[in-house]
Amino acid sequence: MRAYHKPAPDAPASVMQIDLPRPGPGQIRLRIAACGLNFADLLMLKGQYQDTPAAPFTLGMEVAGTVEALGEGTEGPAIGTRVAVFGGQGGLAEYGCFDAHRAVPLPDAMPMTDAAAFLIAYGTSHLALGHRARLQPGERLLVLGAAGGVGLTAVEVGKLMGATVIACARGKDKLEAARRAGADHLIDAGTDDIRAIVKSLGGADVVYDPVGGEQWQAAFRACNPEARLLPIGFASGEVPQIPANHLLVKNLSVLGVYWGGYMRFNPKALTDSLRVLLDWYAAGRIKPHVSHILPLEQVEDGLELLRSRASTGKVVITM
């Protein structure tokens, strides 16, 4: 089968032919239709992601496809079931084997490209804002990187939870995408004073930050007392240092969020969250924003779209 594979620690990843995998006990084998790209894939290529597997491995964290084989002792999902899976790796391939308990059956009307763009982005935002930050109706939510893969979903989810959403992104087109997703106020990260504008709007009660760097610092200084800050990632390349004395003065809380980690220590939080999100999707309340759909042969182009921040929403690779 074809796969975007890293054959050795010192070898680059590329699309190549590798053996068809066999499902082990408790696993399913998927015929993969689509795989969503994530910023973590770029970190994994450089060995900088917290869950980078040892080479050889196939990249691709979240997939959608059809169950076509079951491992020994695996009771389901049944062969032929359409599912989405957060596997952490193995998704940028024509076939992949994953633990059966990670498979989420899809609504009949959900296209595979939507499903491959759904789990991590919506799951992260819903778990972060609901389970971690306890976002309340009427609070002001500041979303940094608001036109990215997770940022747009934070705008949507925050709005559905009743917050006033302040979206921060770079450039007119990306801000327009955030506005369409439900943002009440827009800040251009390239030209505007984030701190001054947020404070003029009444300050932030919750900050959702996949960017880090200078934007984190500006948001931090625009927080209201008892605000909650959610570091989601560091797309700027700069992990900010958090002054504990400032947390003390304003009674602030910093709440780390690593969505995939819940699979190990609290999978029920994930499954409960995904159940709500899939109900919202079926009701037409949320819809993944996929800016680019590319074939497997163009996976490098897709990764470059993330690297250069040229995409809005998600980039999806089809097989």
**For the purposes of burial, counting CB atoms within 10 Å of the CB of 224, is it exposed (0-12), middle (13-18) or buried (19 or more)?**
middle
What CATH number is given to the structural domain containing 27?
Answer: 3.90.180.10
Residues ≥6 apart with Cβ < 8 Å to 311: 148, 149, 291, 292, 305
| pLDDT, tens digit, 9 for 90 and up, residues 14-67 | 999 999 999 999 999 999 999 999 999 999 999 988 889 999 999 999 999 999
Distance between start and end Cα atoms, the chain: 11
Residues 23 and 70: beta-carbon distance below 8 Å = yes
Residue 236 confidence class, pLDDT cut points 50, 70, 90: confident
Domain closes at, from 260, 279, 299:
260
The CATH number that applies at residue 244 is: 3.40.50.720
Question: What range does the domain containing 148 cover?
Answer: 120-260
Question: Is residue 281 one of the residues assigned to a domain?
Answer: no
Instruction: Give the model confidence (pLDDT) of 289-318 as tens digits.
Output: 999 999 999 999 999 999 998 888 899 999
User: Does some domain include residue 196?
Assistant: yes
- Please indicate, yes or no, whether residues 112 and 124 belong to a single structural domain of this protein: no
